[in-house]
Structures are given as structure tokens and as C-alpha cells.
Amino acid sequence: DAKTTQPNSMESNEEEPVHLPCNHSTISGTDYIHWYRQLPSQGPEYVIHGLTSNVNNRMASLAIAEDRKSSTLILHRATLRDAAVYYCIWMQTGANNLFFGTGTRLTVIP
Amino acid sequence: EPEVTQTPSHQVTQMGQEVILRCVPISNHLYFYWYRQILGQKVEFLVSFYNNEISEKSEIFDDQFSVERPDGSNFTLKIRSTKLEDSAMYFCASSGTRDSGRLSNQPQHFGDGTRLSIL
């Protein structure tokens, strides 16, 4: 398993930005960093992924450290619907399955 | 936006019975997966499937489990003789089109799962 380390839980106020950190200190140069989230009673949902440079999409931004040992998922304006467990997953080259850890449970406070 | 659909949403089965969980992956995807999540625990990989054969499976995926793509649209997970510990949410996922390149660069799209309850 490709191990990542995330805080167990975080809180954010509604409409404020949220920065969710992840450590992946032994990642190799060709392995991708993926983020998924799981809303209550739903399946995992893809959020974003990247390799080296920062990535943006309609859901979030992904900031990857220059040494690639850590990354941060950024939700620019948290909404109540963003309350979920967020998983940072390091996908090794040649792998085609996701290894989910325990993730970060994000609580959004109205 | 295309999505992965799973049926039924909830399946209740007596221990020892066979159960088939069904999934319709996204139509142009080539790689298919099953995961499971026991209540309160992590999402666990079971099996991946490509080109009509299993490409990888976990230790959980023993001889009681099988997968099949019986036609061009469905992808099924069969548990031959269910046990109490098979009670879980089962998620199907799909990824990868013909031109999509490296799999590790492809997102997986999940269904909303089938809740399997073994009595």
C-alpha cells in the first residue's frame, strides 16, 4: 500500500476556504496524487488529481509541494454540501486500484 | 454527466445463499472495479477487471467471489455462499478510455453502492 498521512478531522466555517493537508513522503517521481471524497451514504467521488504542478478544476485546487512529499487540497468556499470524508490517495505507477486510508472528516459549520 | 449505476440499492439475503450485485459502468470505460466498505470501516479494494479478465484482486476476493461482464454493459459481482461478514456496502467503479493513457492518471468513477445485509 502506498501510505499517506492525513489529519483525522477538520472543521471549517461555511463560505470560508479550507486547506486539507496530506503527507506522502516516500512517493516516487511518477506516482500521481489523487483526492476523493465520500459524502454520507454515498460512494466515493473523484475530486482532483495531479503529478507535479498545481491543478485546478471546478471542484477544488490541488497544491503539490515542490519536493512532492506533501500536497494540499483547497476548497475555495466551503459549503454545507462539502461536509464529507476526504481521502488523499497516492497512485503508484502501474497500479490500477485505489487504497483508501481513513481520510479527513471535514465538518462545515453554518 | 455519465455515471455508474448499481442495482439493487439494498439486498437482504440469508446466510449461505448466492447473491449477484449488478453494475452498469460508464459506457466507454474499459476498466472496472469492485470495492467494499464494512460499516464504519475503510473502503477496501476487491478486484479489477479489464479485457474480460481479472487484472488484480485482493486477499478478500477469495473463491466465494467471482466477477463477470455478461454483455457489453453490465458488470456483476457474485458471492457464491454468503457469510455474515460479507455484510457491507459494495461499490462498483470504472475508469479509462481507449485513449486515456496511464491508469494512474485516470480518475475512477463510483456508483452509489449496494448495501448487502446477510441474515
Per-residue pLDDT tens over the stretch A45-81: 999 999 988 999 999 999 999 999 999 999 999 999 9
pLDDT of residue B99: 66
Average pLDDT of span B80-109: 88
A105 to chain B, any CB pair closer than 8 A? The answer is: no
- Cell 503529478 appears where? A51
Which residues, in sequence order, are CB contacts of B12 under 8 Å at separation 6+?
B117, B119
Determine the residue of chain B that is closest to A101 in CA distance: B42
Partner residue opposite A97 with nearest CB, options B56, B107, B113: B56
Partner residue opposite A102 with nearest CB, options B42, B50, B55: B42
Partner residue opposite A44 with nearest CB, options B50, B105, B110: B110
pLDDT at position B100 over 70: no
- Residues of chain A with pLDDT > 90, as a percent, come to 72
The residue among A99, A91, A97 whose CA lies nearest residue A31 is A91
Q: Computed from CA positions of residues A20, A23, A29, A35, in that sequence, does the dihedral angle turn out positive or negative? A: negative
* pLDDT band per the 50, 70, 90 thresholds, residue B15: very high
pLDDT at position B101 over 90: no
Q: How many CB pairs under 8 A join A and B?
A: 61
- Cβ pair A86, A79 in contact under 8 A: no
- Cβ pair A38, A76 in contact under 8 A: no
Q: Rounded distance, CA B10 to CA B115, Å?
A: 5
Q: List CB contacts (< 8 A) between A91 and chain B.
A: 104
- Cell 465538518 appears where? A107
Q: Rounded distance, CA A21 to CA A7, Å?
A: 7
The Cα-based distances of B98 to B27, B28, B49, B68 in angstroms read 12, 8, 15, 20
Q: Render pLDDT for B44-83 as a digit per residue (tens, 0 to 9).
A: 999 999 989 999 999 999 999 999 998 878 999 999 999 9
Highest-confidence segment of A93-97, B51-55, B111-115 = B111-115
- pLDDT, chain B, mean: 92
In a mutational test of the B interface, the residue from A87, A88, A97, A102 whose CB has the highest number of chain B CBs within 10 Å is A97
CB A43 to CB B103 under 8 A?
no
CA distance A17 to chain B (A): 24
CA distance A37 to chain B (A): 11
The three-state DSSP-derived secondary structure of chain A is CCCCECCCEEEEECCCCEEEEEECCCCCCCCEEEEEEECCCCCCEEEEEECCCCEECCCCEEEECCCCCEEEEEECCCCHHHCEEEEEEEECCCCCCCCCCCCEEEEEEC
pLDDT at position A99 over 80: yes
